[in-house]
């Protein structure tokens, strides 16, 4: 029996190796046919998985050693063709870094994402890092995401204007399964706050990363308003429900005193089960926009804008509402935004109120431009968060 199982496992492992080798050979073939340079990173990952005899779940297409003077150019086409030819459906993550994508590339990538084809490629994470997408590509990607398996979309370092962001957010992305959206260092200005707020209100996104943009106080305030107001509303409903439940328990206790001990025990058991069924809710069932992770590191949020300190005060009011009332919030990154000593103090009060309300502690990052005492107290009232997405350096230029 053990020998049969071992032989079956060996056969399965060899099938994985055969498939990976076929994928690489097909990719090399298409690179030659299209005069494209093969990716050394992809080759390394495939060979590593061949040694492990494991399927390649994370495909990374990157060309770190490429120079503009090279005869062969990086391209996405050969990889897409190879994946389709071999029907390689084991990948769950697709990372494309610093590759100039043509319209045709994006169209074929969208076809690969869609679940309406005969062969389904169950990609759940797509990262297009610094891939220079135009407005039409944004719209196409958004439409494809709405009928895909994607739950994570990262478009960091993809510069986009008003029309580009509109195409992305209104093209069908709101109807998708995406729960994590990253638009770090995309050149978003204060104008993007309203667009992002509307999107959050009509989508299932629960993690938003917008580090390194220029939302400033105005844009950040517009973005936060519906999320903060909804968190306060949910907290109010929960408190009201708790009050009703407490009152019902009191009435139940008084009426139960008039019955026998046996009836009392039986009645109490039924009522407790009923209450649990009514009051226990999953966080995902909460209505309206809410966020578990909000990262807005380095967004020029300070008191130097057109409206000065007043605008910063409004922003901090919303941040404090979110911190005080949102039971869903787990991470908040407002580092490198200079909220000052006053902002630090009101944030500290909100964290203390959150603790008093017995909500779970959050990970937080703030600027050190405040007194040491206030900064230290904030970190004592929360967990320190280290930002994982900071501005990167590129050869020949700074991004």
Distance CA 32, CA 29 (A): 5
pLDDT of residue 397: 42
3-state secondary structure of 143: helix
Burial 148-179 (b: 16+ CB within 10 A, else e): bbbbbbbbbbbebeeebbbbbbbbbbbebebb
pLDDT of residue 392: 61
pLDDT of residue 213: 97
* 100 and 68 Cβ atoms separated by less than 8 Å: no
Distance CA 230, CA 325 (A): 9
Torsion of CA 234, 240, 244, 250, to 10 degrees: 120
Instruction: Count CA within 13 A, CB hemisphere, residue 160.
Output: 29
Residue ranges of domains in the chain: 179-252+288-389
Show Cβ contacts of residue 399 under 8 Å, excluding neighbours closer than 6 positions: 130, 157, 185, 391, 392, 393
Homologous superfamily in CATH for domain 179-252+288-389: Ribonuclease Inhibitor (3.80.10.10)
pLDDT in tens, 340-384: 999 999 999 999 999 999 999 999 999 999 999 999 999 999 988
**pLDDT exceeds cutoff 50 at 395:** no
Distance CA 83, CA 80 (A): 5
Burial 238-268 (b: 16+ CB within 10 A, else e): eeeeeeeeeeeeeeeeeebeeeeeeebeeee
**pLDDT exceeds cutoff 50 at 173:** yes
Q: How confident is the model at residue 3 (pLDDT cuts 50, 70, 90)?
A: low
pLDDT of residue 35: 92
Mean pLDDT, residues 187-201: 96
Element (H, E) at 81: helix 77-86
- Counting residues of the chain whose pLDDT is more than 90, the rounded percentage is 69
Distance CA 184, CA 335 (A): 14
- Counting residues of the chain whose pLDDT is more than 70, the rounded percentage is 80
pLDDT of residue 116: 84
Q: Which two tokens stand for residue 386?
A: 């280290």
Q: Which two tokens stand for residue 192?
A: 């993007």
pLDDT in tens, 291-345: 999 999 999 999 886 666 789 999 999 999 999 999 999 999 999 999 999 999 9
pLDDT of residue 306: 66
Percent of residues in the chain assigned helix, strand, coil, to nearest 5: 50, 10, 40
pLDDT of residue 118: 83
3-state secondary structure of 364: strand
Q: Tell me how long the chain is.
A: 399
Element (H, E) at 332: strand 331-333
Tokens 């001990």 map to which residue? 261
pLDDT in tens, 31-73: 999 999 999 999 999 999 999 999 999 999 999 888 877 878 8
**pLDDT exceeds cutoff 80 at 258:** no
307 vs 21, higher pLDDT: 21
pLDDT in tens, 113-155: 998 888 899 999 999 999 989 999 999 999 999 999 999 999 9
**pLDDT exceeds cutoff 60 at 79:** yes
**pLDDT exceeds cutoff 70 at 241:** no
Q: How confident is the model at residue 279 (pLDDT cuts 50, 70, 90)?
A: very low
pLDDT in tens, 226-238: 999 999 998 876 5
Q: Mean pLDDT over all residues of the chain?
A: 85
Q: How confident is the model at residue 259 (pLDDT cuts 50, 70, 90)?
A: low
Tokens 């996405």 map to which residue? 76
pLDDT of residue 158: 94
């Amino acid at each position: 029996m053990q020998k049969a199982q071992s032989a079956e496992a060996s056969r399965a492992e060899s099938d994985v190796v055969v498939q990976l080798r076929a994928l690489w050979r097909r990719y090399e073939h298409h690179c030659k046919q299209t005069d494209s340079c093969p990716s050394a990173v992809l080759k390394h990952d495939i060979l590593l998985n061949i040694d492990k005899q494991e399927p390649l779940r994370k495909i990374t297409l990157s060309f770190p050693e490429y120079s503009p003077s090279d005869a062969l150019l990086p391209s996405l086409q050969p990889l897409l063709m190879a994946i389709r030819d071999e029907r390689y459906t084991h990948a769950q993550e697709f990372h494309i870094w610093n590759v100039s994508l043509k319209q045709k590339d994006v169209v074929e990538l969208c076809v690969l994402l869609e679940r309406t084809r005969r062969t389904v490629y169950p990609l759940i994470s797509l990262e297009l890092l610094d891939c220079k997408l135009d407005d039409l590509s944004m719209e196409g990607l958004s439409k494809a995401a709405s009928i895909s398996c994607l739950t994570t979309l990262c478009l960091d370092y993809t510069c986009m204007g008003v029309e580009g962001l509109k195409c992305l957010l209104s093209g069908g992305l709101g109807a998708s399964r995406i729960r994590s959206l990253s638009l770090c260092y995309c050149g978003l200005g204060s104008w993007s706050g309203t667009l992002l707020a509307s999107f959050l209100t009509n989508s299932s996104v629960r993690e938003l990363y917008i580090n390194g943009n220029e939302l400033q106080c105005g844009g950040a305030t517009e973005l936060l308003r519906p999320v903060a107001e909804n968190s306060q509303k949910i907290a109010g409903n929960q408190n009201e429900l708790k009050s009703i439940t407490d009152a019902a328990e009191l009435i139940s206790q008084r009426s139960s005193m008039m019955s026998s001990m046996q009836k009392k025990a039986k009645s109490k058991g039924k009522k407790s089960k009923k209450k649990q069924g009514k009051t226990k809710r999953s966080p995902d069932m909460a209505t309206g926009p809410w966020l578990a992770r909000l990262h807005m590191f380095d967004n020029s949020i300070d008191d130097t804008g057109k409206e000065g300190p007043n605008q910063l005060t409004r922003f901090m009011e919303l941040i404090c509402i979110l911190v005080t009332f949102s039971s869903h919030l787990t991470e908040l990154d407002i580092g490198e935004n200079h909220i000052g000593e006053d902002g630090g103090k009101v944030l500290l009060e909100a964290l203390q109120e959150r603790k008093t309300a017995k909500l779970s502690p959050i990970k937080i990052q703030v600027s050190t431009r405040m007194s040491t005492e206030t900064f230290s107290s904030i970190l004592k009232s929360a967990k320190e968060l280290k930002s994982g997405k900071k501005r990167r350096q590129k050869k020949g230029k700074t991004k």
